[in-house]
């Protein structure tokens, strides 16, 4: 799919410089950025759906099953 994209000059220059520095194409950078953003939005939607279907009572019942123990040294 081809998409025409208009960027502010400063953003376009930054993209060009970064892509050159990282030895990737601007197209690859943009495609990766879009994929990351979509993944974030889909994850948010998934978690929101799970939260909407959950309940405080269920959470508390699950937490009661967790054994009580002292924190590890690295958790202090």
- pLDDT of 34: 97
pLDDT recorded at residue 32:
96
Look up the pTM and report it.
0.66
Closest CA to 19 of 35, 30, 10, 34: 30
* Residue 46 phi, psi (nearest 5): -60, -45
The pLDDT of residue 17: 97
**Residue 76 pLDDT:** 74
Let me know: does 15 contact 28? Beta carbons within 8 Å: no
Q: Give the domain ranges of the chain.
A: 13-64
pLDDT at 53: 92
- What's the average pLDDT block by block, 10 residues per block, for the chain (76 residues)? 94 97 96 97 96 92 93 86
């Amino acid at each position: 799919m081809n998409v025409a994209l208009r960027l502010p000059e400063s953003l376009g220059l930054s993209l060009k410089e970064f892509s050159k520095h990282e030895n990737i194409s601007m197209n690859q950078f943009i495609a990766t950025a879009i994929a990351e953003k979509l993944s974030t939005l889909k994850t948010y939607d998934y978690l929101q759906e799970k939260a909407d279907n959950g309940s405080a009572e269920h959470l508390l019942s699950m937490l009661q099953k967790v054994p009580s123990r002292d924190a590890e040294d690295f958790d202090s």
